[in-house]
Amino acid sequence: MNFENTQQYAQQLDQQDPLRSYRDKFHFPKVNGKEVIYFTGNSLGLQPKNAKKYVDEIMTDWAELAVEGHFQAEKPWWDYHERFAEKLAPIVGAKPSEVTVMNTLTVNLHLLMVSFYRPTSKRYKIIMEEKAFPSDQYMVASQVRFHGFDPEEAIITVKKREGEHYFRTEDVLQVIEETGEECALVLMGGVNYYNGQVLDMETITKAGKGIGAFVGWDLAHAAGNVELKLHEWDVDFAAWCSYKYMNSGPGNASGCFVHEQYHGQKDIPRFEGWWGHSKERRFLMEPEFQPEPDANAWQVSNAPVLALAPYLASLELFEEVGMPALNEKRNKIVAYLEFILQEVAEEVGGHFEIITPKERGTQLSVFLHGQGKELFHYLMKNGVVTDWREPNVIRLAPAAFYCSFTDMYEFGRILRGYFSSETRT
């Protein structure tokens, strides 16, 4: 597409945007009295305006019904989490029975590894990408140590090639093949948090399953961002946080996927709790665990409904719009942002480069040459909310729900201003 770097052209794109009205359904912070250009939906999504209503419903029920809210509220608390399955399933490409919400992301990965990391003296290694999100590194290393293995030996990392900023699928497949029967689990981030690369989850899953390993995905930066087909790809398990692209609020509940082939198994290793017990028999207070027939069997405790309420509010918007429409706008707005960045880079002499490959979602990672954090602080001061990742990257994620093409143009104007002689003196 032939873009133009003009305000009029950006405004024209906004007028043609079928999702333009959804911008008004979110609260925007302001700097100097003006709504910010918000590029950190990959870190914390903006608050949907309908979220307060969903939280207030529970607060009112608590005030008026107290404990009876578990059963007598309009949305009873005891099965509140069940309202998520139908809405989440199309976002991650699953059957409703394969998804649930509970806990937070790293907690859920730990719980899922009870079922899907079952090392033996021969098959005990875990394959992950180098410099995965730190929480994943800590989690995997602690799991390995818990089972009596040395992380230095048991954790195999897929590395980027010298001088490259992205992972090559063929390198991932080679590591899987070389690890072979020693591999117990392939666990990687579906979208790399640092460079924004979308990994070939289908191909990698097939390769991992082909050597007899379990395959799981951390979808923190993928869920609500890119097309996922977890059931069709035969993924064993996955988990994601909800507060990034799914706008559920800071530190909010995590979503989980467990493929239906593992449902209804009493003998699968699993840390069990009351809310994973058969719903029909839960209040009989029986001593023997009877698992729910679906992904809810991995539930442990009763649902934190006050936390889930904003998540449910956001999923209402996802249900209205659908992932195909969000993906279509995402592709267009990210391409326009890339065009703006390239134009500015040419004008100012290449002080930065985009390190995100074409296999991408919403995020563009920009590597700064010799700028340090000065540029980051300048952008923030001028109403561009972005984030910094060591050693020298600014991540830009224009979420399709609420970012506009005019935002992209205005960002380019502000960025160009930083490199002007007046600004740098």
Domain CATH for 413: 3.90.1150.10
Q: Name the domain count of the chain.
A: 2
281 and 203 within one domain: yes
Residue 392 pLDDT: 86
Please give the average per-residue pLDDT across 6-25, as a whole number: 98
Is residue 47 one of the residues assigned to a domain? no
Q: Is residue 331 a contact partner of residue 312, using CB atoms and an 8 Å limit?
A: no
Residue 390 pLDDT: 83
Q: At what angle do helices 305-321 and 85-92 cross, to 10 degrees?
A: 60
Reported as a pLDDT band with limits 50, 70 and 90, residue 421 is low
Q: Is residue 295 a contact partner of residue 100, using CB atoms and an 8 Å limit?
A: yes
211 pLDDT above the threshold of 70:
yes
Tell me the C-alpha distance between 194 and 167, whole Å: 12
Tell me the C-alpha distance between 227 and 326, whole Å: 10
329 and 310 within one domain: no
Please give the average per-residue pLDDT across 394-421, as a whole number: 94
Domain boundary (289, 305, 321) is at: 321
Residue 331 pLDDT: 98
Residue 425 pLDDT: 43
346 and 229 within one domain: no
Q: Is residue 252 a contact partner of residue 51, using CB atoms and an 8 Å limit?
A: no
Residue 424 pLDDT: 53
Residue 352 pLDDT: 84
Tell me the C-alpha distance between 7 and 405, whole Å: 9
What does pTM read for this prediction? 0.95
Length of the chain: 425
Region of poorest pLDDT, from 102-111, 348-357, 359-368: 348-357
241 and 96 within one domain: yes
Please give the average per-residue pLDDT across 64-71, as a whole number: 97
Tell me the C-alpha distance between 14 and 24, whole Å: 13
Q: What is the pLDDT of residues 157-174, one digit of tens each?
A: 999 999 999 999 999 999
Considering just the CA atoms, what is the radius of gyration of the chain in Å? 23
Q: Which range of residues forms the domain containing residue 172? A: 52-321
Q: Which residues of 388-411 are buried (b: 16+ CB within 10 A; e: fewer)?
A: beeebbbbbbbbbbbbbbbbbbbb
Q: Which residues pair with 354 in a beta bridge?
A: 366
Residue 184 pLDDT: 98
